[in-house]
Structure 1
Amino acid sequence: MTMSFEGKVAIVTGAGNGLGRSHALELAKRGAKVVVNDLGGARDGSGASSKASQEVVRLIEDMGGEAISHGANVANYSEVEDMVQQAMAKWGRIDILINNAGILRDKSFSKMTLDDFKLVMDVHVMGSVNCTKAVWEIMKQQNYGRIVMTTSSSGMYGNFGQSNYGAAKMAVLGLMNTLVLEGAKNNIRVNSLAPTAGTRMTEDLMPEEIVKAFAPEAVTAGMLTLCDDDAPNRFILCAGAGGYASASIFETDGCFLPQSSQSPEQVRAHWDELTAQDKQAELASGAKQGEKFVMKAMAFMKSQQQD
């Protein structure tokens, strides 16, 4: 069955180039009305221009679709609010938010300035927070919303020279995990995309033929599965060069130590049990970890009473 976005209104941030451009064009091709957001800055976040986003709007209109351009800096909440208000004034609803805007300020942690760290956090983390906050009540009132965060293998696994970017990309997963719980009753589903694509962000990091294999369109095919009516919830989809995978955070079942044995030496002595993966599981919320440990303590107390 062909995936359709007819009647849906989508905001795509950082949509002037690369992945965002690909996301916006494909959503429009499948029927969505699209807000093409792009500050139009350089890869490091400097400068601004509406040329790229207006070009994407023109391409969408040429294919018979509807789109508007907005140059909001996602790190500035008042500008984001203005973007959302313009979308509501034109179309009366917002169904989909793709938090894609990002910048790079790569350097080893030793050489990185705190300003470079903060700027990357502002754009990736607060940019995602600002855009999500601006549409959240609208989606709640509609009883419908689909939000996609953009995470990265750099955050989940680390990447030399990207402490700022990696920290930001793990932060949006933490944001997703709680929004999933808070949005569930209003049919708001929140997922994350971990892309590997040959874009302006990576073009000088890989050979040209490899960049072509990592076309943004391959990532967009995965992204669309995260924001349609049948989208999953709390899913991390990894995509690049035609490869697709899921990533999850698992916790081992662990061990229990009674109060008389709670020393670092005993924790180390039970390391094999603590790290055994045979009963590992994804936890539905942070409370589930505490619940698990309480159950272990209660089971121990019960065994003591029986003895």
Structure 2
Amino acid sequence: MSSGEPGDGAAVAAGALQGKVALVTGAGRGIGREIALLMAREGARVLVNDLGASVSGEGVDSNCAAQVVEEICAAGGQAVAHSGDASVPTQATDMVQSALQAFGRLDIVVNNAGILRKAAFTEISYEAWQALHRVNLDSAFLVSQAAARVFQRQQAGAFVHMTSTAGLIGAAEQAHYCSSKLAIAALSKSIALELGTQGIRSNCISPIAATRMMVAATGRALNAPGQLAANAVEGVAAIAPLAAFLASDLATSVNGQIIGARGNDVYLFNQPRPQRLLQRSDGWTIARLSEVMEPAWRNAWVPLERTRDVLNWVAS
């Protein structure tokens, strides 16, 4: 892992999204809110979507999105609120249409909406499994598909999806959350491969920050000392610059990537590729696999690690 070299930030900082229109789901609080605020400061007009549900998906606060819109407008930006449910097909389509009606175009979609429920694998109900996949994965599919049709007409557009180390690396007692978040990475890659030749980009961010979701995942309070502080810096705003960059024309060469962000650290994730090969001209049997594969690959097996085992340095 290498640290980045200082760049000419002043040359690209102001107005990096000037003239763009962004749709940000789950933008009423936390990381989504910070992304919406920064994109507005960078010149984008923003549709702020949030149903206002709790981190586990219960309840509704129709003022959640409107409050962020008020902040943007008070600072001189332009924004509209949408309190619809991104996991409902008609409401996902309505978000895209509302952005078009309000601002005349759509250039950026940030799929940030998500929920988390922690439970032992044998205790996860089918209802809970469906709920997490509906909010975390279906919403990203539905909003992206509706927006992609607009992007195809424009021959331009950028998707930024939120995945998680819970899916990319692994986590216990979160099987439904992990699987939905790993699927996000596959969705993003498929979009990038299929639509990249049409000027449409799709990338993932794997964020770590002290959010309500982090509290739900770890069971620790935001101000608790120790492990949470070491693995998740306080500032959710640290994620927003990466999202704005990936959405901007400054990142036209970046497509189909998964980038992590934690505090002042950003890191590129690898993606699954074959790394070892065994071949026999006369084929394989169970006995031969037992005799050859395990000793040959013993030192290459992927260890059973969690986020804290892999991201084991203290974020700056």
- TM-score, normalization: structure 1? 0.85
3-state SS of the aligned residue for 1:5? coil
- In the TM superposition, what are the counterparts of 1:285-300 in structure 2 within 5 Å? none
1:93 matched to 2:90? The reply is: no
Query: For residue 257 of structure 2, what is the aligned residue in structure 1?
Result: 235
Partner of 1:27: 39
1:82 and 2:102 correspond:
no
Deviation at 1:158? 1.2
Conserved 8 A contact 2:25-2:113: yes
CA gap of 1:161–1:54, structure 2 versus 1, over 3 A, is: same
Q: How do 1:123-272 residues align onto structure 2 when only pairs under 5 Å count?
A: 123-203=135-215, 205-208=220-223, 210=229, 213-231=233-251, 232-268=254-290, 269-270=292-293
Deviations 1:76-122 (A, max 9, x none): 01011111111111212110000000111111112221111110010
Q: Distance in 2 between matches of 1:197 and 1:181?
A: 29
State the partner residue of 2:52: 40
Aligned equivalents of 1:194, 1:32: Cα separation in 2: 23
In the alignment, does 2:69 pair up with 1:57?
A: yes
My pick for the range that moved more, 43-52 or 197-206, is 197-206
SS in 2 for 1:86: helix
Distance 1:199 1:169, change over 3 A: same
Distance 1:267 1:255, change over 3 A: farther
Question: Following TM superposition, by how much is the alpha carbon of 1:51 offset from its aligned partner in structure 2, in angstroms?
Answer: 1.3
Could you tell me how far apart the structure 2 residues matched to 1:70 and 1:207 are? Answer: 28
Q: In the TM superposition, what is the alpha-carbon distance from 1:219 to its structure 2 partner?
A: 1.3
Q: Are the structure 2 counterparts of residues 207 and 97 from structure 1 closer, same or farther at C-alpha, using a change threshold of 3 Å?
A: closer
- Cα pair distance change 1:18/1:137, threshold 3 Å: same
- Supply the distance in 2 between the matched residues of 1:53 and 1:221 (Cα, whole angstroms): 20
- Larger C-alpha radius of gyration, 1 or 2? 1
**Structure 1 residues 276, 132: closer, same or farther in 2, change over 3 A?**
same
User: What's the offset of the Cα at 1:205?
Assistant: 2.5
Q: Equivalents in 2 of 1:136, 1:63: separation in Å?
A: 30
**Match of 1:167, SS?**
helix
Matched to 1:238, the amino acid is G
How high is the sequence identity, in percent, across the aligned residues? Answer: 29
Q: Tell me: CA distance 1:16–1:253, structure 2 relative to 1, closer, same or farther (3 Å).
A: closer
SS of the residue corresponding to residue 98 of structure 1 reads: strand
Aligned pair count reads 277
When structure 1 is superposed on structure 2, of 185-194 and 245-254 the one drifting more is 245-254
Structure 2 residue runs of 5 or longer lacking an equivalent are 1-10, 301-316
Report deviation, 1:72. 1.4
Letter in 1 for 2:99: A
Give the corresponding residue for 1:68: 80
Instruction: Measure the CA separation in 1 of the matches of 2:104 and 2:222.
Output: 45
Superposed CA offset, 1:184-230 (max 9, x none): 11111100010111122224624416399331111112222221113
Aligned pair in 2 of structure 1 residues 251, 266: CA closer, same or farther (>3 Å)? farther
Aligned partners of 2:295, 2:71: CA distance in 1, in Å? 58
CA–CA separation in structure 1 for the residues paired with 2:208 and 2:278: 40
- Matched residue SS, 2:194: helix
TM-fit CA distance, 1:65: 0.7
TM-score of the pair, normalised by structure 2: 0.82
